[in-house]
């Protein structure tokens, strides 16, 4: 997990907080806006991944080599990528692999 901040209009933040409180009242526990946002993103994940258009060949090529190896890459421009960008690419690659497996099972 990573901690981040989001800039949202007040009305949307209020709505997220109210949903979190409502869910906490029904299920017990503490209100969590993060859980609400996470669930919304998970519901829209397929659409977001399609919008991001992560090519499977780019994702698989970026994963070539040894895990944790910080050496060269066959993907142009990846050497100049920041740690955060490389981490995001790894997550996208994992997500694409998961989707491919789900499709193959169907």
Considering the domain architecture, whether residues 83 and 59 belong to the same structural domain is answered as yes
Quick check: 68 pLDDT over 70?
no
- The gap from C-alpha 1 to its chain's centroid, in whole angstroms, comes to 10
**Side-chain-side CA neighbours of residue 29 (13 Å):** 9
Asked if residue 5 is part of any domain, the answer here is no
Q: pLDDT tens, 32-57?
A: 999 999 999 999 998 888 888 865 55
| Residue at 88 is within a domain | yes
- Residue 84 maps to a domain: yes
Does residue 37 lie in a domain region? yes
Structure tokens at 65: 């080599």
Query: What tens digit of pLDDT does each residue of 7-32 get?
Result: 999 999 999 999 999 999 999 999 99
Question: Which residue range forms the structural domain that includes residue 22?
Answer: 10-43
End-to-end alpha carbon distance in the chain:
30
Q: Are residues 58 and 99 in the same domain?
A: yes
Q: Are residues 16 and 37 in the same domain?
A: yes
CA distance 52 to 46: 10
């Amino acid at each position: 997990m990573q901690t981040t901040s989001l800039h949202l209009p007040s009305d949307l933040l209020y709505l997220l907080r109210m949903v979190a409180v409502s869910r906490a009242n029904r299920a017990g526990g503490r209100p969590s806006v993060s859980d609400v946002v996470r669930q919304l993103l998970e519901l829209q994940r397929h659409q977001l991944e399609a919008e991001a258009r992560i090519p499977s060949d780019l994702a698989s090529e970026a994963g070539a080599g040894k895990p944790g190896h910080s050496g060269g890459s066959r993907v142009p421009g990846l050497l100049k990528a920041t740690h955060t960008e490389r981490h995001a690419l790894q997550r996208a690659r994992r997500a694409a692999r998961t989707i491919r497996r789900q499709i193959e099972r169907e």
